[in-house]
């Protein structure tokens, strides 16, 4: 949160030039969030998309294979770009190499491409997917919270960090869907929700199998939310 406060005040860019979320170079001209020559390089998610998770699908389909095979606890999902070479490298730098400034471009582009749909959700609250305290200490920030704060400013929706991980589930890249679900079982809990909160927009960096999103949504629904939707930067698969 220290980063986003300083960035909002316009102080941080005076000392640390904004880096491009695609090529990693300093963005020129000053004031932009991405190099003009890089703006069209990511593989953006295009319609038609899965009615549940937001994964790009073929014409005539309603659900992707993953959502056909698994019930979802969240209502719908939206994502910005494919988790391929460019998307993968951008996210790696965003969460592992301190490039928190990328969140501003992710949020701007999500609003540009999916703003009408995100506003139509009428979310009362934005909630980031949590990091375990051990990983948070190592990384120094939760990338999902940084992204949620940038989206919250643009959607005029408050952000609350109400979810907690009670168990360090480690990296799940090599686990299949069922392995991820078992690994996440009972590992995410939700604190009290503010009064009047009904619809929640869950925020994360990457959607893979949906196991994390389902676990977080279940915790939010158990805490009293009436509906949970999901927004992510990247979509795997």
The CATH number covering residue 151 comes to 3.40.50
Stretch among 3-7, 79-83, 99-103, 118-122 having the lowest mean pLDDT: 3-7
The separation between CA 35 and the C-alpha centre of its own chain, rounded to angstroms, equals 22
Q: Which has more pLDDT, 178 or 103? A: 103
Evaluate whether residue 125 is within a structural domain.
yes
The per-residue pLDDT for range 150-183, each reduced to its tens digit, is 999 999 999 999 999 987 766 555 555 565 556 6
Stretch 38-58: mean pLDDT: 97
Evaluate whether residue 105 is within a structural domain.
yes
pLDDT at 9: 47
pLDDT band at 8 (very low <50, low <70, confident <90, very high): very low
Evaluate whether residue 61 is within a structural domain.
yes
Please state, as a whole number, how many other Cβ atoms lie within 10 Å of the Cβ of residue 28: 12
List CB contacts of 82: < 8 A, sequence separation 6 or more. Answer: 42, 43, 44, 45, 56, 234, 235
Stretch 44-65: mean pLDDT: 97
pLDDT band at 187 (very low <50, low <70, confident <90, very high): confident
pLDDT at 82: 98
Share of the chain above pLDDT 90, in %: 82
pLDDT at 160: 97
Distance CA 92, CA 188 (A): 23
pLDDT at 167: 78
Instruction: Determine the 3-state secondary structure of 11 from DSSP.
Output: coil
pLDDT at 197: 95
Q: Is the pLDDT of residue 224 over 60?
A: yes
Domain that holds residue 207: 45-169+177-235
Evaluate whether residue 222 is within a structural domain.
yes
| Structural domains of the chain, count | 1
Evaluate whether residue 36 is within a structural domain.
no
pLDDT at 25: 96
pLDDT band at 17 (very low <50, low <70, confident <90, very high): confident
Stretch 95-111: mean pLDDT: 97
Evaluate whether residue 17 is within a structural domain.
no
Q: Is the pLDDT of residue 18 over 80?
A: yes
Stretch 131-143: mean pLDDT: 94
Q: If 0-12 CB within 10 Å is exposed, 13-18 middle and 19+ buried, where does residue 154 land?
A: middle
Distance CA 135, CA 132 (A): 5
Q: Is the pLDDT of residue 228 over 80?
A: yes
Evaluate whether residue 1 is within a structural domain.
no
Strand 188-190 and strand 163-165: pairing?
A: antiparallel
Stretch among 20-29, 178-187, 218-227 having the lowest mean pLDDT: 178-187
Evaluate whether residue 30 is within a structural domain.
no
Stretch among 7-16, 114-123, 216-225 having the lowest mean pLDDT: 7-16
Mean of pLDDT over the chain: 90
Q: Is the pLDDT of residue 89 over 50?
A: yes
**CB–CB of 44/180 below 8 Å?**
no
């Amino acid at each position: 949160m220290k980063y986003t406060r300083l960035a909002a005040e316009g102080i941080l860019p005076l000392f640390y030039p904004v880096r491009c979320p695609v090529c990693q170079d300093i963005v020129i001209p000053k004031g932009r969030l991405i190099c003009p020559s890089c703006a069209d390089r990511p593989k953006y998610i295009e319609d038609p998309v899965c009615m549940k998770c937001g994964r790009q699908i073929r014409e005539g389909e309603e659900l992707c294979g993953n959502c056909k095979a698994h019930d979802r606890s969240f209502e719908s999902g939206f994502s910005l770009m494919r988790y391929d070479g460019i998307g993968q490298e951008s996210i790696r730098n965003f969460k592992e190499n301190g490039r928190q400034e990328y969140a501003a471009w992710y949020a701007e582009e999500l609003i540009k491409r999916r703003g009408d749909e995100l506003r139509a959700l009428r979310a009362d609250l934005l909630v980031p997917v949590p990091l375990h305290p051990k990983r948070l200490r190592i990384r120094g920030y939760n990338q999902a919270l940084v992204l949620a704060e940038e989206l919250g400013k643009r959607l005029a929706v408050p952000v609350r960090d109400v979810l907690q991980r009670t168990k360090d589930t480690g990296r799940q890249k090599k686990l299949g869907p069922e392995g991820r679900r078992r690994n996440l079982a009972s590992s995410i809990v939700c604190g009290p929700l503010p009064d009047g909160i009904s619809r929640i927009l869950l925020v994360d960096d990457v959607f893979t199998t949906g196991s994390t999103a389902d676990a977080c949504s279940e915790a939010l629904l158990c805490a009293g939310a009436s509906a949970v939707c999901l927004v992510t930067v990247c979509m795997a698969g």
